[in-house]
Amino acid sequence: MFWTATKRVLRSGFVSFYRNSVVSIAAVLVVSITLFVIGSLIFSRAVLSYSLGQIKEKVDVNVYFSLSAPEEKILALKEQLEALPEVRSVGYISREQALEDFKKRHESDYLTLQALEELGDNPLGAVLNIHAKEPSQYETIAEFLGGESTLIKENPNIIDKVNYYQNKDIIDRLNSIIDGGEKVGFGVTLVFVLVSIVIVFNTIRLIIFMSREEISVMRLVGASDLYIRAPFMVEGLIYGVVSTIVVLLALWPATYWLGKNATNFLGGLDLFQYYLSNFWEILLIMLLSGCVVGAISAFLAVRRYLNV
């Protein structure tokens, strides 16, 4: 009996969706727009996170040493830094290597190279290039370089400059931009969700009005409240499922085109590959979002306008 009633409810929901095709298509389009906005936010977050990760990989702390700093002291400090749990790697650039790198970077700048030759001596000091395991750990490393190291306390003049705070500002600013973008995206999504709920709500209300004679007959033959209400709930879920299919089909060519033509503009992330590799996760998010919007709209409409 239960399965028979369930089949009838599901069939009634599909029949109503098909029979009221015009209003159903309008509801599906509105929910699809909402889901497309949600999908765009998913991809936007992926691009921002990928770009942030790329920048974080390039961010480091450089320790510039004075010209008089002994090499053995620098290498000793390198060993101390490598022993820190926050440090991923430490690279050493000698004075000679620093000079060679400087010449390569300015090989087309004749005036700079000429001025360097006139100096007669190497004006560059050695450098330690430090990469932390996490960007938040650079502050601990900077504090260590600021005087916590025994070697630095004993030789306070060996370090000329540490460029930590300049890079910290860049990361903090980028994080602020991403946080702001997520808040704006959440606000836009919320607006579209509310608009979708209102339109689907009115769609279900219209269908209830169009089905009033059928509902009256069902009441006369003794149909239960749940049996009368359930098909409208099913119809709301159908809106969500169909909208999910529509959006996923639309995202396929959109991400394929962006993957071919906008990878460099998006910081190197191929959106089509991201779409394929995260397809089931995106499908689940879209399906849940669409069904929730459809179900809530149908529930509110049934509760408000179907007095059984």
Q: Are residues 240 and 192 in the same domain?
A: yes
The structure's pTM equals: 0.65
Ramachandran angles phi, psi of 107, nearest 5° = -65, -25
Q: Which two tokens stand for residue 164?
A: 């930590």
Decide: 155 and 80 in contact? Cβ < 8 Å. no
277 in a domain, yes or no?
Answer: yes
Q: Are residues 207 and 250 in the same domain?
A: yes
Q: CA–CA separation, 303 vs 298, rounded Å?
A: 8
Residue 288 banded pLDDT, cuts 50, 70, 90: confident
Supply the range of the domain harboring residue 125: 67-157
Q: Are residues 301 and 181 in the same domain?
A: yes
128 in a domain, yes or no?
Answer: yes
Per-residue pLDDT at 64 exceeds 60: yes
Which range of 36-40, 156-160, 194-198 scores highest in mean pLDDT? It is 36-40
Q: Are residues 234 and 285 in the same domain?
A: yes
Residue 308 banded pLDDT, cuts 50, 70, 90: very low
21 in a domain, yes or no?
Answer: yes
Per-residue pLDDT at 98 exceeds 50: yes
Domain boundary among 133, 157, 181: 157
Q: Are residues 194 and 263 in the same domain?
A: yes
Query: What's the mean per-residue pLDDT of the chain?
Result: 75
Residue 65 banded pLDDT, cuts 50, 70, 90: confident
Q: Are residues 223 and 110 in the same domain?
A: no
- Provide DSSP, 165-224: HHHHHHHHHHHHHHHHHHHHHHHHHHHHHHHHHHHHHHHHHHHHHHTHHHHHHHHHTT--
273 in a domain, yes or no?
Answer: yes
Please give the biggest Cα pair distance in the chain: 106
Domain boundary among 127, 157, 187: 157
Decide: 6 and 261 in contact? Cβ < 8 Å. no
32 in a domain, yes or no?
Answer: yes
In our burial notation (b when 16+ CB lie closer than 10 A, e otherwise), range 151-173 reads ebeebeebbeebebeebbeebee
Q: Are residues 176 and 280 in the same domain?
A: yes
Q: Are residues 187 and 147 in the same domain?
A: no
Q: Are residues 103 and 217 in the same domain?
A: no
Of all residues in the chain, what percent carry a pLDDT higher than 90? 0
Per-residue pLDDT at 250 exceeds 80: yes
Report the pLDDT averaged over residues 259-287.
80
Q: CA–CA separation, 187 vs 191, rounded Å?
A: 6
Q: Are residues 119 and 233 in the same domain?
A: no
Q: Are residues 192 and 288 in the same domain?
A: yes
Q: What is the dihedral of CA 297, 303, 307, 308, to 10 degrees?
A: 100
Q: Are residues 220 and 275 in the same domain?
A: yes
Decide: 44 and 152 in contact? Cβ < 8 Å. no
163 in a domain, yes or no?
Answer: no
Residue 83 banded pLDDT, cuts 50, 70, 90: confident
241 in a domain, yes or no?
Answer: yes
What's the domain count of the chain? 2
Residue 195 banded pLDDT, cuts 50, 70, 90: confident
Minimal CA–CA distance to 60: which of 128, 140, 129, 126?
Answer: 129
Residue 254 is predicted with a pLDDT of 85
Chain-centroid distance of CA 28 in Å reads 26
Report the pLDDT averaged over residues 122-148.
78
Domain boundary among 89, 123, 157: 157
